[in-house]
Amino acid sequence: MTEQNSDTPNSTQDLADRVNNRSHRPNSTAFRDFVASGWDRTPLNAEALAAAGFTPARRDAVSAAFPGERLVVPAGGLKVRSNDTDYRFRAHSAFIHLTGLEADSEPDAVLVFEPEGDGHDVTLYFRPRAGADTEEFFSDSRYGEYWVGPRADLEAMSTMTGITTESSATVDDAITKDLGAISVRLVRQADTRIDGVVDLARTQVQADLETSESGDAELAQLLSELRLIKDDHEIAQLREAVAITRSGFDNVVASLPKALGHRRGERVVETAFETAARSDGNGVGYDTIAASGNNACTLHWIRNDGQVRDGDLILVDAGAEADSLYTADITRTLPVSGTFTEVQAKIYDAVLEASDAAFAVAADHPNRPVKFREVHEAAMEVIAKRLEEFGVLPVSTAESLSPEGQQHRRWMVHGTSHHLGLDVHDCAQARAEMYLDATLEPGMVFTIEPGLYFKSDDLLLPEEFRGNGVRIEDDVLVTADGVENLSAAFPRTRTEIEAWVQGRAQER
């Protein structure tokens, strides 16, 4: 084995320095002195974030739930995509919810709730702006201002968030001090480095690890449940995300003629949507599904490398993420030719009827307590009934709907609804009694998305049904008077969809 060249990266080399192997960066004292001089280092201007008026109440709710305990909520760190290239940063949703930070803020930051009196002192630990005379400023390709742009200083960050700030250089001591005499709860898997710091400290003081893990899980659960009811700021951000998403879908429809002539027509559709999502928002809230023909029957088809053929249905499940990181989640199924075939129309109308039934149940909540799971049950009654009428259900509707049956779920295996917010599947760590068995309350935002998926290799189906998948998904806000369809501006009925496709194609 030959000796390793000193310029060759190895597993122990710091990731941020791997660029050095190809950068030819000068190291002379003259260069260092010169590059550090002549920079305007006026403190950056800062204004309070739009969410700053709402986050104190969120933090107060967390504080009240865990009196006398230290709470640690990391943002997370940068994640390597390949070698010295990172993915675009997106902080943990609990961190965003409690700080109000937006877009790609703030890698390696940690929010710490320190017990004080009857409540907590809250401090945001982050990596503040470095001086121009530091090595980081000009040489650190991962964090340096010369490379990735300026960061806030301590005062600016405090102005933006309304939270006391400290340098993240001191965060390890802040989260481990007096451990053993004080209980610490941690949002795990947000930042593996912070996980390691807390785990080591717990081991050193011989903490009961089972109790610690249970405490961490309870914190994650509370932070998830805290987002079940959206405040006015959150609802406004979701409206913005839906509006951006509508622009994206208009792009999608306009792209269909080009998609028809491309060997990867689904990619044409995908990028048409993402142009609007990235131009007008932070980007997409999740990987876009652009699934034509039989691909529409693969529920999470994100490869998007198939052709778009005349006569196909194309199922597009996409959501734009606003700069605040709240995301929409909309699905429309479009006839590529502009007109549904007779069989496609039957399938589409069945799914639309199921969606309308789910909406009707949700809207009835002012008159009686409505459980979240009832929304799904209403859609399933329609799906089972229509499958029986299509002649594909091997049992009666009543038998299929029974717990012992459920044969209809072969053609719709997913749920009808999930909560929506900072995560596309928001509040996922909430308890069942707070989620599936919860009573609908004003401020909840969730999807209604029934579907039918008839795979081309499903031999239990009549041949003319095979290769068609339909889903209709809308974003729904529970109000005091009923529900509001946040995506009501999207074409939804079969007639509206056909006019949309035909009209946008003609414009193109």
* 111-146 tens-digit pLDDT: 999 999 999 999 999 999 999 999 899 889 999 999
% the chain with pLDDT above 70? 94
Distances (CA, A) of 229 to 44, 70, 234: 35, 25, 9
- Torsion sign across C-alpha atoms 295, 300, 302, 303: negative
CA angle centred on 284, ends 280 and 290, rounded to 5°:
115
Nearest alpha-carbon partner for 126 in 157, 159, 86: 157
Give yes or no for a contact between 77 and 95, defined as CB atoms under 8 angstroms apart.
Answer: no
Q: Cβ neighbours of residue 482 under 8 Å, at least 6 residues apart?
A: 362, 363, 364, 365, 366
Chain centre distance of CA 260: 30
Average pLDDT over all residues of the chain: 94
Query: 198: helix, coil or strand?
Result: helix
Largest CA distance in the chain: 85
Span 52-74, pLDDT tens digits: 999 999 999 999 999 999 999 99
Indicate if the pLDDT at residue 504 is higher than 70.
no
Burial of 496 (0-12, 13-18, 19+ CB in 10 A): exposed
Domain 232-504 has CATH 3.90.230.10: yes
Examine residue 433 and say whether the peptide bond preceding it is cis (omega within 30 degrees of 0).
no
Calculate mean pLDDT across residues 406-426. Answer: 98
Query: 327: helix, coil or strand?
Result: strand
- Domain ranges, ordered by start, for the chain: 44-227, 232-504
For β-strands 445-448 and 468-471, DSSP reports them as unpaired
For β-strands 110-116 and 70-74, DSSP reports them as antiparallel
Span 431-449, pLDDT tens digits: 999 999 999 999 999 999 9
* CATH architecture assigned to 44-227: 3-Layer(aba) Sandwich (3.40)
Q: Cβ neighbours of residue 267 under 8 Å, at least 6 residues apart?
A: 290, 304, 305
Chain centre distance of CA 373: 22
Give yes or no for a contact between 368 and 340, defined as CB atoms under 8 angstroms apart.
Answer: no
Number of H helices, E strands in the chain: 16, 17
Instruction: Specify the pTM.
Output: 0.94
CA atoms of 324 and 49, how far apart (whole Å): 10
CB 216: neighbour CB atoms within 10 A? 19
CA atoms of 469 and 459, how far apart (whole Å): 16
